[in-house]
């Protein structure tokens, strides 16, 4: 079954053609990073306009790269939500128009389920049930992924998402957008113990997260000491920008790893996965790997390019939904939803 996936929930206009949920025939992403960079975050109105500009060329390129003619597609899948509603509407409208004109089934995909299904794009396929850490710019949550297609929420953030904390702290540091990538790069080889940032912990066994206290602690440090200068590691009494980045990142990663392992233990499961933009983080991937070995768990990580927003995961998720429920009636009436 060949599915065209379309994703426009935030700041990437993406389309991909995927066969049977696994074989990637094309994968096109038009990034809007240069558009939003000057603002240090996504500007929703600009995102909608750029999606409008990019959507047709991106879909055309995905079809051309795949060598699959539009008429040969078996279905069209699109991210329905959550996300920026104006941005989602562009993808949803394009997908509806194509489905109607080509008389193909339309499969709506929940963006979070798209990220979760990216776990099946790892080298080996996870076996349900498994624990999935969804960690992105908009979400930080733990799910139990069941064989019947249900994603059972075990715990989520009470305030900021981890990616949001990365982005906000990077903005204060003035090191660029998206912040997670900038912090990840700076932290390589630096000292994660240079500053002891707080780790939020709730009652025993809680699988909830909180990152606003950490964000405030990082902002307070900068207010008191100024933005750390790059490359001054080892100088008496000074903290380098790299050490700051590594210490902040370690505080985020510590909590993400600890709760993912705790979720597996509490549910008695032996498989864990991490998906979403922050799952591209080098330190998180390494630390999850070490923790999985120590706890005798199997770890599933999608390749880095399928952690951040993409349309392959949307087509893959649609395939698995189709396998379970087949065609649903009334899909041309579907609407985008923000939350
Ligand atoms: O999944 P995603 O592309 O979009 C959402 O659904 O939110 O995630 C974007 C988030 C941003 O906050 C970005 O800073 C973060 O993922 N991110 C990273 C890395 N790459 C992207 N965070 C930490 N380390 C990275 N390497
Ligand atoms: Zn996403």
pLDDT score of 326 more than 90: no
Residue 312 belongs to what domain range?
A: 2-116+308-333
Ligand 1 and 10: CB distance under 6 A = yes
Q: For residue 239, how far is its CA from the centre of ligand 2 (angstroms)?
A: 33
Q: Is 270 in the same domain as 166?
A: yes
Q: Is 135 in the same domain as 283?
A: yes
Q: Is 225 in the same domain as 265?
A: yes
What is the mean predicted confidence (pLDDT) over 196-207?
A: 91
Residues with CB under 5 A from ligand 2 (ion): 136, 309
Q: Is 263 in the same domain as 136?
A: yes
Whole-number Å distance between alpha carbons of 264 and 258: 10
Work out the pLDDT band at 331, boundaries 50, 70, 90: confident
317 occurs within a structural domain: yes
339 occurs within a structural domain: no
pLDDT score of 235 more than 90: no
Q: From the CB of residue 38, how many other CB atoms can be counted at a distance below 10 Å? A: 8
Q: Is 134 in the same domain as 277?
A: yes
Whole-number Å distance between alpha carbons of 161 and 137: 6
Which ligand 1 atom lies nearest to the CA of residue 178? Answer: 14
281 occurs within a structural domain: yes
Q: Is 79 in the same domain as 148?
A: no
Q: Is 109 in the same domain as 12?
A: yes
Q: Is 159 in the same domain as 282?
A: yes
Work out the pLDDT band at 203, boundaries 50, 70, 90: confident
Q: Is 216 in the same domain as 67?
A: no
What is the mean predicted confidence (pLDDT) over 239-267?
A: 97
Work out the pLDDT band at 237, boundaries 50, 70, 90: low
Q: For residue 29, how far is its CA from the centre of ligand 1 (angstroms)?
A: 15
CATH number of domain containing 110: 3.30.420.40
Ligand 1 and 129: CB distance under 6 A = no
Q: Is 142 in the same domain as 166?
A: yes
Q: Is 19 in the same domain as 36?
A: yes
pLDDT digits (tens, 9 = 90+) for 286-316: 999 999 999 999 999 999 999 999 999 999 9
Q: Is 265 in the same domain as 312?
A: no
Residue 218: the pLDDT is 97
Ligand 1 and 281: CB distance under 6 A = yes
Are the beta carbons of 239 and 275 closer than 8 angstroms? Answer: no
Q: Looking at the 3D structure of the chain, how many domains does it have?
A: 2
Q: For residue 136, how far is its CA from the centre of ligand 2 (angstroms)?
A: 6
274 occurs within a structural domain: yes
pLDDT digits (tens, 9 = 90+) for 164-201: 999 999 999 999 889 999 999 999 999 999 999 999 88
pLDDT score of 204 more than 90: no
Q: Which ligand places an atom closest to the C-alpha of 178?
A: 1
Residue 75: the pLDDT is 97
pTM: 0.95
pLDDT digits (tens, 9 = 90+) for 80-116: 999 999 999 999 999 999 999 999 999 999 999 999 9
């Amino acid at each position: 079954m060949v599915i065209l996936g379309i994703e426009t929930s935030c700041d990437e206009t993406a389309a991909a053609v995927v066969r049977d949920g696994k074989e990637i025939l094309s994968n096109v992403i038009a990034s809007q990073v240069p558009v939003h960079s000057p603002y240090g975050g996504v500007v929703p109105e600009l995102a909608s306009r750029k999606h409008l500009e990019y959507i047709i060329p991106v879909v055309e390129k995905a079809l051309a790269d795949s060598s699959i003619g539009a008429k040969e597609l078996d279905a069209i899948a699109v991210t329905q939500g959550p996300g920026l509603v104006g941005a989602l509407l562009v993808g949803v409208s394009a997908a509806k128009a194509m489905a109607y004109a080509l008389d193909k089934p339309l499969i709506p995909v929940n963006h979070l389920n798209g990220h979760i299904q990216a776990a099946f794009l790892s080298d080996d396929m996870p076996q349900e049930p498994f624990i999935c850490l969804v960690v992105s710019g908009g979400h930080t949550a733990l799910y139990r992924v069941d064989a019947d297609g249900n994603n059972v929420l075990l715990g989520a953030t009470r305030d900021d998402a981890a990616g949001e904390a990365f982005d906000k702290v990077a903005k204060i540091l003035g090191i660029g957008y998206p912040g997670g990538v900038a912090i990840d790069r700076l932290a390589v080889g630096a000292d994660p113990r240079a500053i002891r940032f707080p780790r939020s912990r709730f009652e025993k066994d809680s699988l909830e997260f909180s990152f606003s206290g950490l964000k405030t602690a990082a902002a307070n440090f900068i207010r008191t000491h100024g933005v750390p200068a790059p490359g001054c590691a080892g100088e008496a009494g000074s903290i380098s920008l790299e050490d700051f980045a590594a210490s902040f990142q370690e505080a985020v990663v510590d909590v993400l790893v600890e709760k993912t392992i705790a979720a597996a233990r509490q549910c008695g499961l032996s498989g864990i996965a991490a998906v979403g933009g922050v799952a591209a983080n080098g330190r998180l991937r390494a630390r999850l790997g070490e923790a999985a070995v120590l706890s005798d768990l199997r770890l599933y990580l999608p390749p880095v390019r399928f952690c951040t927003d993409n349309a392959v995961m949307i087509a893959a998720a649609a395939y698995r939904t189709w396998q379970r429920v087949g065609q649903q009636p009334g899909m041309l009436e579907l609407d985008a939803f923000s939350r």
